[in-house]
Amino acid sequence: MVQGEIFVDAARSAGDLAGVFEFDGQTGYFYLYRLRGEGQKVLGAIHVVSGDPDFGERDIAIRWNPTEGKVGLFIKGELWAAFDAIRQAKYGGNYEPGVKPGLPLEVRRDFAPLA
């Protein structure tokens, strides 16, 4: 379905960290990226997809949770991967069409809409 590359990012309001999704035409990864401080660099990577995905750039969203301690990758509205920037932990990845993501409940709750 996808032709070419996809690149989507979202920095947190402090401007120090960003969640970045990059698909190079063959493989897609979700990264936690340091924007400033001790130099710009990738702090973590989660494999998301290999091959021809069934989604495009418009199906991708990157959101920080309300406290901006976690950043999540959403594909077609579903949380598929997340980084906890405080605990330096990563969750999810390995997108498969027609399969529900298997992230822990406590991570999913952090991205639930506020009531």
Sequential pLDDT tens for the chain (115 residues) = 556 799 999 999 999 999 999 999 999 999 999 998 788 899 999 999 999 999 999 999 999 999 999 999 999 999 999 999 999 999 999 999 989 999 999 999 999 765 4
Q: Between vectors from CA 48 to CA 44 and to CA 53, what angle results, nearest 5°?
A: 150
Q: Which pLDDT does position 6 carry in this prediction?
A: 94
Structure tokens that stand for 73 in this block: 């990758």
At 65 the three-state DSSP class reads coil
Q: Which pLDDT does position 115 carry in this prediction?
A: 41
Question: 81: domain range?
Answer: 6-110
Q: Which pLDDT does position 39 carry in this prediction?
A: 80
Whether 86 is in a domain gets the answer yes
CB 18 within 8 A of CB 35: yes
Global confidence as pTM: 0.92
Rounded CA separation 42/49 (Å): 18
Whether 1 is in a domain gets the answer no
Q: Which pLDDT does position 73 carry in this prediction?
A: 97
Rounded CA separation 21/19 (Å): 7
Whether 14 is in a domain gets the answer yes
CB 30 within 8 A of CB 46: yes
Q: What is the DSSP pairing of strand 6-11 with strand 17-23?
A: antiparallel
Number of domains forming the structure of the chain? 1
Whether 53 is in a domain gets the answer yes
Whether 85 is in a domain gets the answer yes
Rounded CA separation 69/83 (Å): 8
Bridge partners of 11? 18
Whether 75 is in a domain gets the answer yes
